[in-house]
Structure 1
Amino acid sequence: MRLFKTAILCAALSLGVLTTIAEAATRVAFVTAEGGLGDHSFNDMINEGLKKAKSDLGIEFVVIQPRAVSDMQSSLIRAAGQKFDLVLGASFDMIEPMKAAAAAFPDQKFGIIDVGSDPIAPNVVGAVAKDWEGSFIVGIAAAMTSKTGTIGFVGGRDIPVIHRFFNGYYYGAKMAKPDINVLERYSGSFTDPAAGKEYTLALVSAKSDVNFAVANLTGAGVIDAAKSTKTFAIGVDSNQNGRAPGTVLTSMVKRVDVLAYDIVKSVTDGSFKGGVNKQYGLKEGGVEAAMDDNNKGLISEATLKTMDELKAKVISGEIVVPNYIDLDPSAKQMGTPPMDRPSEK
């Protein structure tokens, strides 16, 4: 009887421990950037990182999708008010809203992905995928693949973070092929595929046969236009090669899934430390040009070799790809080795 009671007591204690563990699961709120889930791009990649954290680390997470940029601050504050262990946001548009939320909730841990070099607040960890380095690599591919000598770029909005992509793309293209013509356009929206298609068709009319889409949902229109005109598109953020096999030359993948996972892990293992912005470039595996069966054979062996050689020089520090946000506005050149900056649009 005594053994039986002891067994019951042990079982009850074990159940209590399990209940405590379940209650102690790290809770994360992800407030998406403009476009929300289903963008096949930035937000979806972060969501994949959180799914992995759930599988590996046992976290629980919810996704909050602001209807507009103007709703971001209220979404962050609402999440902080529910005392999540981490409130994770994304995009340049969320910097000011997060500063306000972080000031209102100084004991709340926040994370933000895709920012600049400056820390946001003492209770915020920032993480940046060096998209300018990834754009440099796909710029090489675009320039060396083009048959017309003209390539293009379709940005969602005319803002510094998108110029960061363009400058990297331009720098890589010009380094690989100095006489390449690089056209730059901005659709004005991250959520308008029709505009993406319209702008791309205009670029194709201007002889651009490879066009880099940095426009979230608007980029679907860039890929659609490339398919209909038998030209090439380059995807962004996630691997979009499979969206139109044979049409998407490659994709500049920002491993924001890795960034999100790392921020969450810092909360679960107790190493979270606010007031810093971490950077993930080619050296850290934070960006890459996607290669798979969907784009196999589209990029020549000679081009792949050049991409690998120049990538190695970026990793070693011999080449420093310019980050638009850190450039002196009065500087006429950029990068190492120095190159003339692109002329104004």
Structure 2
Amino acid sequence: MRKVFSALSAAAIVAGALVASTAAEAKMKVAMITSESGLGDKSFNDMMNEGMKKAQADLGIEFNVIQPRSISEFQSTLARAAGQGFDFIVGSSFDMIKPMQAVAKAFPNQKFGLVDVGPDPIAPNVVSSVTKDWEGSFLVGAIAAKTTKTGTIGFVGGKDIPIIHRFYIGYYYGAKMADPKVNVLESYSGTFTDPAAGKEYTLGLINQKSDINFAVAGATSAGVIDAAKSTKTFAIGVDSDQNYLAPGFVLTSMMKRVDTQAYDMIKSVSDGSFKGGTVLYYGLKEGGVAAAMDEYNKGLISDAVLKQVDELKAKVISGEIVVPNYFDLAPGQKEMGTPPMATPPSVADKK
């Protein structure tokens, strides 16, 4: 009997070890492919990485962050990741659409995700998302227009491309709704990776009397914030809560909850609800965007302005206000949004 018991105990130990081993081997593996600005941008990529960490803590996944050095490396990076046995590969750049389409076609059984791109489905095995950043930009535009002392506010984009125009349109619409007389300047640094350029272009706007400048430029945004600090004006951060980067000089930050989007995509793979070829939307109603308020910008925005912004937010959620989306504008369109407002000439020309 002792021999039988010993044999059974040994078998149980072996079986337990096999179960533990199988469970370890079954751990979901995820690859995050950053945009060219990479981790440390204190913006989009860092925010998305927080979603990966949450998925690791909540869902027990393993994840690797892969950082291409340039847009030209996106397709080869995605292809290499697809050949390495990841359960899910998620990207974080509008410039990754075509590279991901090509790789998704070559690896039809691989599940992919692409965070914060456009409304068109990417591929049958790719889930993508749209952040209604135009709604968040609307809120910070209203805050800027109600807070400026000079009557002039600015916008510093990374590149002069449609996805950045989407921010500008929302910012402009919010500012003009809050104060039709406010002057809204726009500028584009041409890069998402150069803080020095961000500072240079921001100083140019400050020289034109702009005392609040909205940075939508990835890692370049750090230069916009630095310019605000050195001139004692205000910057508005983007993507993540950047108020802490220069307390007292970052009026607020337009947060895009790409961490939530990445997490939701990973969870869908984990629980079996993944649906390729679909587009997920995250706006004010879904908690996908917000104007960051914390100890670092406490007191910079008056209670009266905050109350007005809450009222505007409620109207957007109810549908009374429809903030225009750049991608929905037709070429030469003269008016935009509900209630209607004149489309800025610079935007109409780009369309």
Which of the five TM-score ranges fits, normalised by the shorter chain?
over 0.9
Equivalence for 1:34: 36
Q: After superposition, where does 1:55-204 map in structure 2 within 5 Å?
A: 55-204=57-206
**Residue aligned with 2:138, SS:** helix
**Residue aligned with 1:344, SS:** helix
**Residue aligned with 1:274, SS:** coil
Structure 1 residue 12: Cα displacement? 1.9
**Residue aligned with 2:290, SS:** strand
Question: For 1:114 and 1:216, how far apart are their aligned partners in 2?
Answer: 14
**Residue aligned with 1:73, SS:** helix
User: Could you tell me which amino acid in structure 2 is paired with residue 179 of structure 1?
Assistant: K
Structure 1 residue 6: Cα displacement? 2.4
TM-score (norm 2): 0.97
Is 1:212 the counterpart of 2:206 in the alignment? no
Note the alpha carbon deviations across 1:321-345, whole angstroms, 9 max, x for none: 1110121123111111111111217
**Residue aligned with 1:153, SS:** strand
Question: For 2:308 and 2:227, how far apart are their aligned partners in 1?
Answer: 28
Question: For 1:5 and 1:137, how far apart are their aligned partners in 2?
Answer: 70
Q: 1:308 aligns with which of 307, 310, 321?
A: 310
Structure 1 residue 127: Cα displacement? 1.1
Q: 1:12 aligns with which of 7, 14, 21?
A: 14
- Identity percentage of aligned residues: 69
Question: For 2:37 and 2:93, how far apart are their aligned partners in 1?
Answer: 11
Q: How many residues align?
A: 345
Is 1:295 the counterpart of 2:285 in the alignment? no
Is 1:240 the counterpart of 2:250 in the alignment? no
Note the alpha carbon deviations across 1:85-143, whole angstroms, 9 max, x for none: 11111111000101101111111100001111000000000012111111011001110
**Residue aligned with 2:96, SS:** helix
Q: 2:273 aligns with which of 262, 271, 274?
A: 271
Equivalence for 2:329: 327
Question: For 1:332 and 1:7, how far apart are their aligned partners in 2?
Answer: 80
Q: After superposition, where does 1:42-61 map in structure 2 within 5 Å?
A: 42-61=44-63
Question: For 1:185 and 1:336, how far apart are their aligned partners in 2?
Answer: 26
Structure 1 residue 235: Cα displacement? 0.3
Question: For 1:92 and 1:249, how far apart are their aligned partners in 2?
Answer: 27
Question: For 2:14 and 2:257, how far apart are their aligned partners in 1?
Answer: 44
Structure 1 residue 83: Cα displacement? 2.1
User: Could you tell me which amino acid in structure 2 is paired with residue 69 of structure 1?
Assistant: I
User: Could you tell me which amino acid in structure 2 is paired with residue 78 of structure 1?
Assistant: R
Question: For 1:315 and 1:239, how far apart are their aligned partners in 2?
Answer: 22
Question: For 1:300 and 1:247, how far apart are their aligned partners in 2?
Answer: 15
User: Could you tell me which amino acid in structure 2 is paired with residue 16 of structure 1?
Assistant: L
User: Could you tell me which amino acid in structure 2 is paired with residue 262 of structure 1?
Assistant: D
Equivalence for 1:339: 341
**Residue aligned with 2:30, SS:** strand
Question: For 1:207 and 1:302, how far apart are their aligned partners in 2?
Answer: 24
Note the alpha carbon deviations across 1:33-71, whole angstroms, 9 max, x for none: 120000000001111100110111010111111110000
For the aligned residue pairs, the C-alpha RMSD in angstroms reads: 0.9
User: Could you tell me which amino acid in structure 2 is paired with residue 312 of structure 1?
Assistant: A
**Residue aligned with 2:299, SS:** coil
Question: For 2:272 and 2:151, how far apart are their aligned partners in 1?
Answer: 52
